[in-house]
Amino acid sequence: MLTLFKFLAVALIGTALGLAVTYGVLQRGVAFNSVQAGPWRGLPKSGSPEVDPYARAKLARSAELPLGTAEGLSFIARADSSGATLQPRCDYDVSGSMPAARYWTLTLLSPKGFLIDNPAKRFGFTSAEIVRASDGTFDITVARQARPGNWLPLGKGEPFVLMLRLYDTLLDFGTAKLGAAAMPKIVKGRCE
């Protein structure tokens, strides 16, 4: 009788522990095959049939629809180029080089991936609509107060992340290693 009780306890504790580990892993987001280039992090395998089971489980729970490999690649920045977490009370400057792609879009989202409302109703930029300097370079200012040029409003001060999508890109992680210099820099400006 005691042995049966002990076996039952092992099964119960084991199950609880296993589910707790699953919950923790999906909350934290364990990712294999992730690519990091400066502040930008991508999961290029999410859009291919070779997606790993952990990424699939996380996508199923969040209901996110990642881009297919041939559609493009997406990257998320949760920190600036110095590695400090993005602060809603600070201004940021996004500029520099961009990998070759037919189009790219930069979107400002909450850390859970939802749009942040703002009076300007501006949630992101596409590569086509952006105002560029005469030499083709661009500069996007992420700030709470309106700015001349490419202003991406921050909303009322909620935490945020930046998402960069490269559509129809020739970038291939199988053959090339993506360096921080190939991606835009995110530089912190003035803080309130």
Contact set with another protein (CB under 8 A): 6-7, 9-11, 13-15, 17-19, 21-22, 25-26, 47-49, 51, 53-54, 56-57, 59-72, 74, 102-103, 105, 107, 109, 112-117, 123-124, 126-129, 163, 165, 167-168
* Cβ contact 98:184 at 8 Å: yes
Nearer to another protein, 75 or 92 (CB): 75
Smallest distance, Å, CB 190 to another protein?
26
Nearer to another protein, 19 or 84 (CB): 19
Q: Label each residue of 66-131 as H, E or C.
A: CCCCCCEEEEEECECCCCCECCCCEEEEEECCCCCEEEEEEEEECCCCCECCCCCCCCEEECCCCC
* Cβ contact 154:63 at 8 Å: no
Nearer to another protein, 80 or 165 (CB): 165
Nearer to another protein, 53 or 136 (CB): 53
